[in-house]
Amino acid sequence: MATEPALALSRRDVLLSAGALIVSASTGLVPSPAYGQSAGAGAAAAGSVVELIPSPRELDSWIAILPDGSAEAFFGKIDMGQGLEVAIAQIVADELDMSVEHVTVRMGDTATTCNQGGASGSTGVSLGARPLRNAAAEARRILLERASKALEVPADQLSVANGMISARGASGKTVSYAELIGGKHFDAPVEWNKAVGNFMDVKGQAKPKAQSEYRLVGKSLARRDVPGKILGTTDYVTDVRLPGMLHARMIRPAIAGSTIASVNGDSINNARVVREAEFLAVVAEREWDAVEAARTLQVMWNPPASDPFPGTDALHEHIRGATVVKREEALHKGDPDAAFKAAARIVQAEYLWPLQSHASMGPACALAHVRDGEATVWTGSQKPHSTRDGVAKLLGLPPDKVRGIWVMGPGSYGRNDAGDAALDAAYVSKLTGRPIRLQGMRSDGTAWDPKGTACVHRARAGLDAAGKVVAYEFVSKGLSRVDVMFNESDPRCSLAGMTLGLPLDSGVGLGTPSESYAFGAKVLAWEVVPPLLDRCSPLRTSHLRDPLGPEVHFGSEQFIDEIAAAVKADPVEFRLQYISAPRDAAVVKAAAEKAGWVPRKTAAHSKRSLHAGMLQGRGIAYAQRGDTVVAVIAEIEVYPKDGRIWARRFTVAHDCGLIINPQSLKQTIEGNIVHGLSRTLFEEVQFDRNSVKSVDWASYPILEMRDAPETIDIVLINSTDVPPSGAGEPTMRCVPAAVANAFWDATGVRLRRVPLSPPRVKAALAHI
């Protein structure tokens, strides 16, 4: 177990041994070791809270050369399992002309890294790496200047290899990075563009290398986190222990919207109640005592005036009839009304997406130590800087008196329960005056995490007499994707803030498809309806992996297939007829070629009888996400008797610009496929009129090994003229529609509601 050591080292000791160079005058900080060493051990090195937040205007906030000549990169995002850490190391090592083994990446600690917006939006490489590349290039320039003076050789006559600078043609004239600066600050400024969202960039006088000069970028180097995960030596946030800590559990009402009438503290043993307003928890010296107290605490609740929810089966009808609080047209091209009136034929359909849980591998855990006007929080959140800011606001502390430390948790991919756990732990620590370790049970994580939003998508297309699309409209109506904002930096959007009575600050937004279909008249719009319950709701909606991507494209890409079927066109050929972006067309062609796509204008079911109790089909979907373009072809088997769909093979063509690490990229794409398939076939939050009923793996099933694809073929398109544009989410948005289109190809039946679960499949195919 990781533990919090005493403050035994001075900052000078740390600089000379661990080499943790940060920009501050004298902080008394004991920073954590680099991520590549041990996340848990690093998380436990708390020390006192840093007095100055690292400044993005200083080169030392981004790059350090340690006493042994190795380099450390300070990365303001975190790696959620995509192999991002080794990609950053490759980029930095290339710019510094060092071995990648001699570059470590420190991430997820607000005391040593700048706020780069956390991990989200598939921006780890596309935006996160940019300041590190520029900083490393500037560091190399400065080191060459210093070497020029030391060796008395012009800088343009020097070369660098593995951190050793040599004078070309002058044998013996060498100096190492370690000799020039090891263990000291650069004390050099860099220009800062000021961060906006996930984007933060810096630049110095140096120009980064041209692609032709890369030695490491583009190679499949092994990830550094895998051995520890396989061997069980990696510490997770659940493994962190603090001296004198208490274990805590939050108490939530069984009926959503209830308020506390009374609490009987005498109903529990070996634990005590912590309460302020509607904020209610139990704490104990031993974790099991806290678990038992949470189960047995007697609380009288005031029920809400009316049932807060419509129930799962009535959800989409509720959305259809709900008042629209905001509508936005992302695209309005031509005169759609006139084009629809003149159309010879109208094709239309409606698609339904459910509420879905993050369903992380385990419920969230966080630790907090609030004392003497400062706080330290250990969190598995993907945005530890947001955790710092949220805790600071909740406790009324300056941000520079709060330190957020990321330790690997059970997963995130959006705003799951990790943010709430961190703020809850901090507030319990404030009320008790003790370090707090707070963890939920499985039911807490699955029932009370913010949910991925539910939507109803309306689509229609107008065709002329020749079958050409002359009008197209796609409108998504649903719950806001930011009813709870996308990070925990504002406690008004947390369960802690809501139970303490802070004013609400919900966001309003949804989304539209990302594609390049060039229809003459085209409307893409979204509409948001009010939340089901505005405060302390287990059905709060927020970001889930690739926010709105799978939801929206399940409808839009399935509808493209429906139009193709209506005009008796092959789905691939139909897409290529209307796609206007050359990169998009190239990706679709690459997927079709790799999959051996044979054009056909009717579904396979019309030419194939049920064989061995199984039908086969294939389907395609394509989408953009930012500057990334993906096409996915699914080949499935459908078993009408038991309603099972097995997506046996996927073919993915993927263009995310310049590729840093092909193997990590492929693994990220595979993760997208598996996660997207789980959400397509199985995942739906079940709830009645009072509470969430999906509280475990039985009531919220996810994809298991038997349903995983047999084959995932991947075509990587390395567009070296396009900067890296992200891969953590784009593939997922194509999976649901590709599978649904394959289902139609196999059966001749459209499934327009996710999940494509066995009961729905059996009902749809009852006639077969």
Per-residue pLDDT tens digits for 524-569: 999 999 999 999 999 999 999 999 999 999 999 999 999 999 999 9
Compare 532 and 121 and report the one with higher pLDDT: 532
- In this prediction, residue 606 carries a pLDDT of 56
Q: Is the pLDDT of residue 193 over 50?
A: yes
Q: What is the mean pLDDT of the chain?
A: 91
238-305+360-446: CATH, from 3.30.365.10, 3.20.20.70, 3.40.50.150, 3.40.50.1220: 3.30.365.10
> Does 238-305+360-446 match 11-234 at the fold level?
yes
- pLDDT band (50, 70, 90) for residue 43: very low
| Per-residue model confidence (pLDDT) at position 608 | 58
pLDDT of 367-388, one tens digit each? 999 999 999 999 999 999 999 9
Q: For the segment 405-441, what is each residue's pLDDT rounded down to a tens digit?
A: 999 999 888 899 999 999 999 999 999 999 999 999 9
Sheet with 402-406, side-by-side order of all strands:
272-276, 279-284, 246-250, 436-439, 365-371, 374-379, 402-406
Q: Tokens 């180097």 correspond to what residue?
A: 221
Strand 272-276 relative to strand 436-439: parallel, antiparallel, unpaired? unpaired
**What was the pLDDT predicted at 37?**
29
pLDDT at position 197, please? Answer: 65
In the chain, domain spans? 11-234, 238-305+360-446
In angstroms, the CA 296 to CA 278 distance is 18
Name residue 436's beta-bridge partners. Answer: 246, 368
Average pLDDT over residues 75-93: 91
Query: Hey, what CATH topology would domain 11-234 get?
Result: Aldehyde Oxidoreductase; domain 4 (3.30.365)
User: In which band, very low, low, confident or very high, does the pLDDT at 499 lie, cut at 50, 70 and 90?
Assistant: very high
Number of H helices, E strands in the chain: 19, 28
pLDDT tens digits, one per residue of 667-699: 999 999 999 999 999 999 999 999 999 999 999
DSSP letter at 605?
A: G
**pLDDT the model gives residue 656:** 96
* Average of per-residue pLDDT across 346-360: 97
The predicted pLDDT at position 471 comes to: 98
| Sign of the torsion angle spanned by Cα atoms 290, 291, 294, 295 | negative
Reported as a single tens digit per residue, the pLDDT across 388-405 is 999 999 999 999 999 999
E-assigned strand segments in 16-121: 63-65, 71-75, 103-107
Q: And the tokens for 555?
A: 């409808």
**What backbone phi and psi angles, to 5 degrees, belong to 50?**
-60, 140
**Dist CA 397 CA 392 (whole Å):** 5
Dihedral in degrees, nearest 10, Cα atoms 140, 145, 151, 152: 150
Q: Cα dist. 710→6, 512, 591, 649, 651 in Å?
A: 51, 32, 18, 6, 11
Beta carbons of 569 and 601 less than 8 angstroms apart: yes
Residues 6+ apart with CB under 8 A from 392: 375, 398, 399, 401, 402
**Whether the predicted pLDDT of 49 surpasses 60:** no
pLDDT (0 to 100) of residue 42? 39
Task: Give pLDDT, residue 7.
Answer: 31
Q: Which residues of 488-513 are buried (b: 16+ CB within 10 A; e: fewer)?
A: bbbbbbbbbbbbbebeeebeebbbbb
Q: Is 5's pLDDT higher than 50?
A: no
pTM: 0.91
